[in-house]
Amino acid sequence: MSDDQDDDIILSELEDEELVLQMHDDLYDGLKEEIEEGVNILLERGWEPYEVLTEALVGGMTIVGRDFRDGILFVPEVLLAANAMKAGMAILKPLLVETGAPRMGKMVIGTVKGDIHDIGKNLVSMMMEGAGFEVVDLGINNAVESYLEALKSEEADILGMSALLTTTMPYMKVVIDTMKAEGIRDDYIILVGGAPLNEEFGKAIGADAYCRDAAVAVETAKEFIARKHNQLAAG
């Protein structure tokens, strides 16, 4: 194999297992067309859309998330990987709807009022989608009303708020306090993140969790959703 160049790999000639591993590599390298091709090959071979999503795409993004967390990969590379994943997702989405794939949960996310930073938020959105969540991204500079409207109209499970300035962080408390006043706080899982935040701050404002990066956000969201499902089943 040693004298073989990477670009000599013909995806359609690989066994399923090898192909999935190759897709993990291609995702890691942000190779959009290869991911699209891999998704289509697996579907042609009779894989369920949900299997392709979890094993090839989510499996690959989990590795990306881990290396991002450990400082091996950086934002530009993660964005490329997420972009490749989105291309694969675009093929799978309509099929997942048809097959009624298990729904992970739905998240409304946005940067708070007065803050226009969005790289961290975008990463969380992409990684959440990569983990099989539905994500409604409200963009930047969101007032309390836009969060609450979206949570209701989208029937979301999770609210994600991001801030990158110490001056805009307190606005998260405004949103949570408003939700408490309206009696809807406990209907949602609230995750907060951003460079100046920490765990103490998250607790102090009444969020469910502070997530230091996109990989942690995905893990935390999964835990809370699983807990919610268990409660519903038990109740």
Q: What is the pLDDT of residues 118-162, one digit of tens each?
A: 888 988 998 888 777 899 999 999 999 999 999 999 999 999 999
The order of strands in the sheet holding 189-193 is: 134-137, 106-111, 158-162, 189-193, 209-210
In the prediction, which pLDDT does 84 show?
94
173 and 216, same structural domain?
yes
Angle ∠(194,198,199) on CA atoms, nearest 5:
125
Instruction: Report DSSP letters for 7-32, one per residue.
Output: GG--GGGS-HHHHHHHHHHHHHTT-H
Residue 192, H or E segment? strand 189-193
For the chain, how many structural domains are there in total?
Answer: 2
CATH code of the domain covering residue 162: 3.40.50.280
pLDDT tens readout for residues 173-232 = 999 999 999 999 999 999 999 989 999 999 999 999 999 988 889 999 999 999 988 887
pLDDT tens readout for residues 76-94 = 998 899 899 989 989 998 8
Range of the domain at 39: 8-99
In the prediction, which pLDDT does 3 show?
45
pLDDT tens readout for residues 10-48 = 999 999 999 999 999 999 999 999 999 999 999 999 999
Bridge partner list, 189: 158
User: Is the distance from CB of 108 to CB of 128 less than 8 angstroms?
Assistant: no
6 pLDDT more than 70: no
Return the axis-axis angle of helices 16-28 and 75-99, rounded to nearest 10°. 140
* Domain end point (choices 61, 79, 99): 99
Q: Is 78 helix (H, G, I), strand (E, B) or coil?
A: helix
In the prediction, which pLDDT does 2 show?
44
181 and 112, same structural domain?
yes
Pick from 224, 106, 104: which is nearest to 154 by CA?
106
Pick from 125, 86, 81: which is nearest to 106 by CA?
125
Distance separating alpha carbons of residues 126 and 81, to the nearest angstrom: 9
CATH code of the domain covering residue 19: 1.10.1240.10
152 and 37, same structural domain?
no
In the prediction, which pLDDT does 123 show?
84
1 pLDDT more than 50: no
Rounded to two decimals, what is the model's pTM? 0.75
In the prediction, which pLDDT does 7 show?
58
